[in-house]
Amino acid sequence: MKGLLMNLLAINGSPHGADGNTAVLQEAFLAGARSAGARTDVIELKDKTIHHCIGCYVCWTRTPGVCIHQDDMTEILERIQSADILVYTMPLYVYTMPGLMKDFVDRCLPLAHPAILKRGDHFIHPQRWEGTPRRSVLISNAGFPETHHFDGLKRTFQLLHDAPDREVLGMICCGAGPLLRIPEMKESVREYLEAAFHAGTEVVNAGRIQPETQAILDRSLASDPAVYANLVNAYWRSQGVDMPSEEKRRDKSGPAPHPGIPLAAPTELKTVRDVVAGMPQSFRAEAAASLSVVIQFEVSNETPGLYFTVIENGCCASFEGEHPHPNLVIRTPRDVWLGIARGELSGATAYMTKQYTIAGDMELLMNLPSLFSSTS
């Protein structure tokens, strides 16, 4: 019954609003709260007009509780008064909150009374009105994989609530947040999103995020930051961004000889040798355009296990053996690559969970599905 009476109001400070990475976490959390019987609502700050605080203190003197600016903040402050719990949703921007959220927080000044009073061992500004919510949750995500990037934001959020009558009910700070919206990463992020959902139910039912749930939410989505960095860098390259050291290495590699034994088209698909041998048949020349690359496979649990595919001049040919200058080396157990080739396993998920590893051109790896039709 307690949950039925509870109102959670999320303030989303992402410029991407409902289409952003943070919103994925926010939605999981609010869905959990609703499942426990709470009412939830979201304010998208990006759709609001909120002028900067100019520090005039008129809201503390001539018109107590009322700002000189006549903008959307008036309505937002009213809505805040009818919430039980505030959910501050925001991406990490330069180790702290984005400007949209900072303007909102600054413009909450009318909610505070100017007096500086001692509460416990702290001096604080007391709240001006009784009804202002005192309990809050932070939801954030960051582009970097390591969670220490949130240290500044978490500290700021704690200080915002550093008064005996204010309480932080939990913080969801998700490293490697861009993985949240990649369809192929659905499995990898499932546990985190389930924890965010549980966090919503726990805040309603138990008054705060429980330690076991918080422990999951304190982890990054990227178990291996180096693997994640490869993915991110490949994304930026695909957007036309020059990645200096990589590009220089590629220029030096020059035209490659083909020192292997040509592989004939396979009659079955039982080994990675069959998969590589079949790649010329499923090659999509129109997708390759002027691409000139060598992909080396190093397969464990298979003899001989060394094969390579050459793509150049709009053609594709496969060989047994080892190429001296591959652009991409794929090191994989036989069953993993067979599973990917047969469409039973997602290549991206298998990579993120380190079922196979690569060296070299990550962008090329990401482009493989477009270069070959489905079962190569």
Residues lying near ligand FMN in the complex (CB under 6 A) are found at 14, 16, 20-22, 91-95, 141-144, 149, 177-178
Residues 6+ apart with CB under 8 A from 353: 188, 223
CA distances from 224 to 57, 147, 234 (A): 48, 12, 16
State the minimum distance, in angstroms, from the CB of residue 144 to ligand FMN. 3
Between 15 and 333, whose beta carbon lies closer to ligand FMN? 15
Q: Which two tokens mark 320?
A: 């047994």
Between 150 and 308, whose beta carbon lies closer to ligand FMN? 150
Residues 6+ apart with CB under 8 A from 290: 314
State the minimum distance, in angstroms, from the CB of residue 25 to ligand FMN. 9
Between 144 and 297, whose beta carbon lies closer to ligand FMN? 144
Q: Which two tokens mark 166?
A: 């204010």
Give residue 84's identity as a one-letter amino acid code.
D
State the minimum distance, in angstroms, from the CB of residue 16 to ligand FMN. 4
Between 188 and 327, whose beta carbon lies closer to ligand FMN? 188
State the minimum distance, in angstroms, from the CB of residue 49 to ligand FMN. 20
Number of H helices, E strands in the chain: 13, 13
Residue nearest to ligand FMN (CB): 20
Between 141 and 188, whose beta carbon lies closer to ligand FMN? 141
Residues 6+ apart with CB under 8 A from 224: 354
Between 92 and 171, whose beta carbon lies closer to ligand FMN? 92
State the minimum distance, in angstroms, from the CB of residue 155 to ligand FMN. 14
Pairing of strands 328-333, 357-360: antiparallel
Question: Which string of DSSP letters, residue by residue, matches 287-353?
Answer: HHTT--EEEEEEEETSSS-EEEEEEETTEEEEEES--SS-SEEEEEEHHHHHHHHTTSS-HHHHHHT
State the minimum distance, in angstroms, from the CB of residue 81 to ligand FMN. 27
